[in-house]
Amino acid sequence: MADKYCSVENAKFLLHDVHGFEDILKFKRYEDFDKENVDLLIDSVKDLADKEYFPYFEEMDAKPAAYKDGEIWAHPQVKTIFEKSGDMGLTGATFDYDHGGMQLPFMANIASGYILTAANNAAVMYTGLTAGAAHLITSFGTQELIDKYVPNMLNGKWGGTMCLTEPQAGSSLSDITTTAYPQADGTYKIEGQKIFISSGDHPYTENIVHLTLARIEGAPAGTKGISLFVVPKMRIQEDGSLVSNDVKAVGDFQKLGQKGNATVHLAFGENKDSQGWLVGEENRGLKHMFQMMNGARIDVGLNGAAIASAAYFASLQYAQERPQGRRLNNSGRKDVSEGQTFIINHPDVRRMLFLQKAVSEGALSLVMEAGRLHDISHQSTDAKEKEEAHLLLELLTPIVKTYPSEMGRTSVDNGLQILGGYGFCTDFPLQQYYRDIRISALYEGTTGIQSLDLLGRKVTMQNGRAMMLLMGKIQETMKAASTYDEFKPYIKTLGGKLEQTQEILQHLLQYAMKGEHEKFLADANIFMEFFSTIVIGWQWLKMATVAKEALVTGNLVQPSEFYESKIHTMKFFYKYEMPKTAAAMEILKNGDFLTILEMEKELIM
Amino acid sequence: MADKYCSVENAKFLLHDVHGFEDILKFKRYEDFDKENVDLLIDSVKDLADKEYFPYFEEMDAKPAAYKDGEIWAHPQVKTIFEKSGDMGLTGATFDYDHGGMQLPFMANIASGYILTAANNAAVMYTGLTAGAAHLITSFGTQELIDKYVPNMLNGKWGGTMCLTEPQAGSSLSDITTTAYPQADGTYKIEGQKIFISSGDHPYTENIVHLTLARIEGAPAGTKGISLFVVPKMRIQEDGSLVSNDVKAVGDFQKLGQKGNATVHLAFGENKDSQGWLVGEENRGLKHMFQMMNGARIDVGLNGAAIASAAYFASLQYAQERPQGRRLNNSGRKDVSEGQTFIINHPDVRRMLFLQKAVSEGALSLVMEAGRLHDISHQSTDAKEKEEAHLLLELLTPIVKTYPSEMGRTSVDNGLQILGGYGFCTDFPLQQYYRDIRISALYEGTTGIQSLDLLGRKVTMQNGRAMMLLMGKIQETMKAASTYDEFKPYIKTLGGKLEQTQEILQHLLQYAMKGEHEKFLADANIFMEFFSTIVIGWQWLKMATVAKEALVTGNLVQPSEFYESKIHTMKFFYKYEMPKTAAAMEILKNGDFLTILEMEKELIM
């Protein structure tokens, strides 16, 4: 394919130059990897994406997965995706050797996932969810469960899903009612309905392993009575053969985007013959699920960043090739005797392109930062470093999930605008990116839920220790940047924003201390907007400093424009994006709780 | 239909209470109308929309208009839409009695258009464009052309289009190449290609009259060599019968949204047999077209406001009916033994609903303001009043087009978010509104073009006289609001924003005076965002003041909550939306022209 949908150069720049992958490679678990073989792996992932993912991106949208005649149909390329991803070891890339994985560093897996997702975000969900499900089994399941299920999930023979949502409960998991009835042999009979199950059914793997939340009969109400089960589509018999396990696709959800991925309504135990196996401890299913949730939320952030990146390159190509109009001359007029210019030369088009670049690369850098913290928190042998990385990751995760989803969408929207009327047409991929990226702010916890998590839990945990750690990290970046006079104004801006963050938190925490929790959290979304912008500002200062260093030392892997472009985009972010925090600050300090106070007398009409 | 998609009460409130329709009814042209018969007309439009428009809203999307086997297929309901709209006189509502119209005030037509568009935005485009095309003929055409074409266009027998865009030119109309070859009989032979022609072809009217921009052979280059022609799909013979006029649909554009409307690629004169009739003066076609453009741009603003309104009512209904989760109690926890609450009781959902209400009603109020100015500028016998209304309308038009398109989209996006995962599913209409509204920022001049028009032309015209007039109008509203102490803080905010507007304009105009026009206009989009927010803040203060007056005097047409809701939403707008101007201000005062300066060495990559 001639079309560019991602930047391998940028992925490597982030990995090696910005986020110090070499530190991660020192961990024992990763002893078989070095920069060279990881780079080769990334190149081969790009090759796979070029051949098997990107060419089907539009087609899988045009022919959506759908429920027909009692079955789910999906694009046949899904079969190839499972097979190739399994063959190359990508589905289980980060898993233990013992489980059939290659112990790839999480950070490197983000680089790989970025490429595959940018190429075809609907396709990558099939193997991504399989890995997530397998990971739950290896983390909390018995050796027997691991042996029985995981190898086939990682090699591409079987698929996997996560079954959380139910029709009556939505995001409120405390209200789920799917029931697990204990059997004499230690297994359970599962009965209930699950909706919105991504990759929930298709004919392209022999089996699909559903990691399912359910309530053991008689368990306490609320989230404390939820357990986790393996409930396969096909039950494995003594002789290894597979028989139906009474898990049935009873419908699907036709969607705005990501149409290539089947979103399924599943019925468990309609004939009282759906067998499940407990994973981990009774009544701790939600806890187990949420230990995986950080990873899933990073993946959603990656989904947003990757789609935004693909959209950026599509818009950029159009802007470089489309002649239209003329630049203004000094008399404020256009000379029609001149030939047309390419639209990339119009300042407003440039503004939108830089916005796309600033958002998509800023978002990807933050996802990579999270990847690094994930690796450290799991692999470090230094207890303090490990714990700090864990805390930082806990704090950053809602932002990692939300910024690429929310601002990624704005970025794609600007990208569509660049194409004018063509952006609205199916001849160009922008309209698909605009539809596909819309899911990111919804699944694995909506933006509202992420914002409550950030302000209500993460900011305050351990008396604000994670926040203090993060402030320290940001100050380290400011210090490194201060080597270069050119960066002084941006360091000053960022420092000021950190002070404002303290100020606004003190202001908001007053309400929490008075027990006015609804007021404390009423504008959590606005705080998310405020703070995530600052966090991305931090990422841009970090990238620009590394780029400057490369230019000053002459230690260049890419042409010098690559690094100059980073510095320029950082400046763009500080000019056009950072000021939004001023607006958010004004809202957060406003003491009129207009969304709460009038509830007694309904004024929304 | 049980579903609410618009508010007739609000349309009447805006018409009568906020924007003083009674003044407009005094004009001679409107002597046959009074409040009562206009209200009855609005009610009958709602009835028509309920029966013939809204029930086909989703179906026309599911079965898009499309080019098949050399012809354009469109949903058969299009035939009914033409007929009913013609029969009720809605297509030509604002036209002269002489031309077959009913001389309906433009303002009242906006109320009618709001209802029809909210019900089915793709359907209303068929008759809307027909009216636009007919209006060009009545305004600039000969009596012969009027007599030949207009009656059948207004009665629903014939359709009409506007043919501007060409493949190589896009928004740059100076580059169009469609050619008109003069014939001995005074007519022209037309040859060329036009793209993106909305309602461009379909089998549901006997004829389609294309108002087409073309260059008379030998005409000067640029916009000064463009003329306007009537080029019908079917030529009228002496005996009144119709024969093909060599205008052929050669393809279509499949789109993200508004799929029910056929967007067509037309070829004129492939067999050198496409006859055209000059409308108005030679080489003044673009000028004629642009005299109509104000109306077209108000219609696009109305399209955005109406879709945003329909999306608001869909989200509101969902939020009122969907139980999920619990409110936080004073210990910051949720009590799972309580039943679930409806999601309308979650502060963040309320914030999004109020945002939808604030944007959609604010936008509609501005469109109505434009309608009033349109009526005055055309009907007033007081030369000063007439000229001032014209100037104000010129200034406001780019904002009327842009705010409902841009912020309407954000509003719909928030509406989709309220539905969570269901917002992404085709079972609910939010995803369609999200797609449909995306066109508003593109057609009839993109947001970029509107912003250049606002800052580059309208703000400065007649030495800023239009701006002075607008400031005066806003101050009148502030004065009226100052009767009520409750409004003091908002008046103060708005006054401050007017001062900032002056300040920022002085700052920007320096560049224009130095001849640095690219710098002057580089951030025109940001100025649009800044100033349009202020203008909507003005509309909200106006609405709130009228609502307060009604509450104080007890002169209530609606329940008191209707008026209290207006005041509360005004406060919401000032808390959550007005602060955005602070961010825009910061950007506009920043002297780093990052989008221009690096052009010599391309840093977008």
Determine, yes or no, domain membership for B544.
yes
Q: What is the pLDDT of residues B344-397, one digit of tens each?
A: 988 999 999 999 999 999 999 999 999 999 999 999 999 999 999 999 999 999
Residue A93 lies in a domain: no
- Model pLDDT for residues B496-515, shown as the tens digit of each residue: 999 999 999 999 999 999 99
Q: DSSP H helical segments within B76-222, as ranges?
A: 77-87, 106-119, 121-140, 143-154
The answer to whether B497 and B537 are in contact (CB under 8 A) is yes
Instruction: Tell me the chain B residues in contact with residue A10 when contact means C-beta distances shorter than 8 Å.
Output: none
Instruction: Look at residues A528, A533, A346 and name the one whose alpha carbon lies nearest to residue A446.
Output: A528
User: Would you state the pLDDT for residue B594?
Assistant: 87
Is B463 exposed, middle or buried, given 0-12, 13-18 or 19+ CB atoms closer than 10 A? Answer: exposed
Asked if the structure places residue A169 within a domain, the reply is no
In the numeric block, which tokens belong to residue B320?
A: 């009122």
Lowest mean pLDDT among A215-219, A265-269, B77-81, B173-177: B173-177
> Using an 8 Å Cβ cutoff, are B220 and B305 in contact?
no
Q: Please give the tally of structural domains in chain B.
A: 1
Judged by a CB distance cut-off of 8 A, whether residue B446 touches chain A is yes
- Examine residue A227 and state whether it is found in any structural domain, yes or no: no
Assess whether pLDDT exceeds 90 at residue A293. Answer: no
Q: Tell me whether residue B256 is in a domain.
A: no
Determine, yes or no, domain membership for B270: no
The CA distance from B574 to B493, in Å, is 8
| Contacts of B463 by beta carbon, 8 Å cutoff, 6+ apart | none
Among B336, B353, B592, the residue with its CB nearest the CB of A604 is B353
Whole-number pLDDT of residue B1: 40
Asked, for residue B37, whether it belongs to a domain, the answer is: no
Nearest residue in B to A567, CA atom: B603
Q: Would you say residue A1 has pLDDT above 50? A: no
B residues 413-442 lying closer than 8 A (beta carbon) to A: 413, 416-417, 420-421, 423-427, 431, 434-435, 438-439, 441-442
CB distance A1 to A55 below 8 Å = yes
Poorest-pLDDT segment among A586-600, B26-40, B444-458: A586-600
Minimal C-alpha gap between A458 and chain B (Å) = 14
> In this predicted model, what pLDDT tens digit does every residue of A582-603 receive, in sequence order?
999 999 999 888 888 656 678 8
- Burial level of A463, CB count in 10 A (0-12/13-18/19+)? exposed
CA distance A245 to chain B (A): 28
pLDDT in tens, A117-152: 999 999 999 999 999 999 999 999 999 999 999 999
Task: Give tens-digit pLDDT for B305-357.
Answer: 999 999 999 999 999 998 877 766 656 666 666 777 888 988 999 999 999 99
Residue B162 has pLDDT above 50, yes or no: yes
User: What residue numbers bound the domain in which A477 lies?
Assistant: 449-595
C-alpha B255/C-alpha B433 separation (Å) is 13
Taking an 8 Å cut-off on Cβ atoms, the answer to whether B169 and A324 are in contact is yes
Residue in A with minimal Cα distance to B351: A595
What's the whole-model pTM score?
A: 0.96
Nearest to A85, CA basis, from A130, A139, A121: A130
Mean of per-residue pLDDT scores for chain B: 95
Within an 8 Å CB–CB cutoff, is residue A321 touching chain B? no
Tell me how close the Cα of A511 comes to any Cα of chain B, in angstroms. 11
Q: CA A473 to CA A480: how far, in whole Å?
A: 11
Q: What pLDDT sits at residue A439?
A: 98
**Dihedral sign computed on CA atoms, order B386, B388, B394, B399:** negative
Whether A41 is in a domain gets the answer no
Q: What is the pLDDT of residue A322?
A: 84
Are the C-beta atoms of residues B512 and A328 closer than 8 Å to each other? no
